[in-house]
């Protein structure tokens, strides 16, 4: 009797969208994508938190892409 072995698909990956619409009430034109940390005026706490949030989202996206790539390479080696 023979068994058909299917390739392991690995853990399920959650793909979602992260969106928010938040502006600093004092510095409504500040955009962490365009200005970065250097554009924060007077050490504004809200602008700094917006920058930290944007940095965290970039890190999550980068790590997610690296994990997906590693998972794909693992599946390719198993095949």
Burial class (CB in 10 A: 0-12, 13-18, 19+), 51: buried
What's the pLDDT at 14? 59
- Distance (Å, rounded) from C-alpha 41 to C-alpha 39? 6
Residue 6 pLDDT level (bands cut at 50, 70, 90) = very low
Cα–Cα distance for residue pair 42/40, rounded to 1 Å: 7
Decide: residue 9, CB within 10 A, 0-12 exposed, 13-18 middle, 19+ buried.
Answer: exposed
10-68 pLDDT per residue, tens: 555 556 676 778 889 999 999 898 888 889 999 999 999 999 999 998 898 898 888 88
**Terminal CA-CA length for the chain:** 22
Give the pLDDT confidence score for residue 5 in this predicted structure: 46
């Amino acid at each position: 009797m023979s068994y058909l072995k299917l390739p392991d698909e690995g853990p399920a990956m959650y793909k979602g969208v992260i969106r928010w619409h938040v502006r600093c009430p004092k510095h409504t034109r500040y955009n962490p994508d365009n200005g970065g940390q250097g554009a924060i005026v007077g050490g504004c706490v809200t602008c700094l938190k917006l920058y930290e949030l944007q940095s965290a989202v970039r890190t999550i996206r980068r790590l997610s892409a690296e994990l997906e790539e590693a998972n794909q390479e693992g599946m390719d080696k198993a095949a």
